[in-house]
Amino acid sequence: MLPANREFDVDADPTHVITCGLRRSEKIVCAVAMGCHILSGEYIEACDRENTFVDEDKHPAEYRAEASSTIWPGAAARWRKQWHSQNKGPFTGLRVLINGETKPQLKVLSRMIRAGGGTVALSKTEGLTVDLAVLGAASKDTKVTLETVNSTWRSWVKRHSVKVVTGSYFVEVITSEHAPRIDDFLVKKT
């Protein structure tokens, strides 16, 4: 079990997460991307009562439809099935460049993408090939547009024809019932 005050460790390869409810916290979103079982505390109690592991499907984490930051209840099962049947997560094969003041924060976003099977680069290096970029504004109080991105990054993105998306795109891919349209998350000129 991961203590509440510790960041999610993608390399630990968890299979189950116990939580009080489906919400878009870093740990839950990463666990969903990895296809973990997201369970209520009742699961532990049932295992203890039966003195064996019990059916996870009977003890899902609580879904609160009224909360705007919830996760589609079928998300973890969808990604678990895809990992098991195709050995692919939501971002398998995707290479993403992340730099600057991003939302979610750079380290959190990096862990979410890696949990979903993607590769993350945090700086541009010679010969770097990426599919998407998440670039923060030069100032963290500024709305991200292509004009607010550092001019060096802006020219690099243009030269390499890389699409720049908001960090929320990756959260939506993991947590939504239907795949989001990438065009809805592209960083615009203004």
- The reply to whether 68 and 141 lie within a common domain is no
CATH number of the domain enclosing 173: 3.40.50.10190
Least confident segment among 55-59, 66-70, 138-142: 138-142
pLDDT at 140 over 70: no
Tell me if 18 sits within 8 A of 41, measured CB to CB.
Answer: yes
Tell me if 92 sits within 8 A of 118, measured CB to CB.
Answer: yes
pLDDT of 122: 83
Query: What's the whole-number mean pLDDT along residues 125-136?
Result: 81
- The reply to whether 155 and 181 lie within a common domain is yes
pLDDT at 155 over 60: yes
Tell me if 156 sits within 8 A of 123, measured CB to CB.
Answer: no
pLDDT of 21: 83
**Separation CA 153–CA 158 (nearest Å):** 9
Mean pLDDT of all residues in the chain?
A: 85
Residues 95-108 have pLDDT tens digits of: 999 887 777 888 99
- The reply to whether 155 and 107 lie within a common domain is yes
Structure token digits, residue 56: 């996870």
For residue 137, list its beta bridge partners.
Answer: 101
Share of the chain above pLDDT 70, in %: 84
Contacts of 182 (CB under 8 A, 6+ apart): 163, 165, 169
Residue 1 maps to a domain: no
**Which residue would you say has higher pLDDT here, 188 or 162?**
162
Residues 59-88 have pLDDT tens digits of: 998 877 665 567 898 999 999 999 999 999
Least confident segment among 9-23, 30-44, 75-89: 9-23
What's this model's pTM, rounded to 2 decimal places? Answer: 0.86
- The reply to whether 127 and 177 lie within a common domain is yes
pLDDT of 65: 67
pLDDT of 70: 77
Tell me the residue range of the domain where 38 lies.
10-86
**Count of domains for the chain:** 2
Longest pairwise C-alpha distance within the chain: 61
- The reply to whether 39 and 106 lie within a common domain is no
- The reply to whether 115 and 144 lie within a common domain is yes
CA distances from 68 to 22, 24, 182 (A): 11, 9, 21
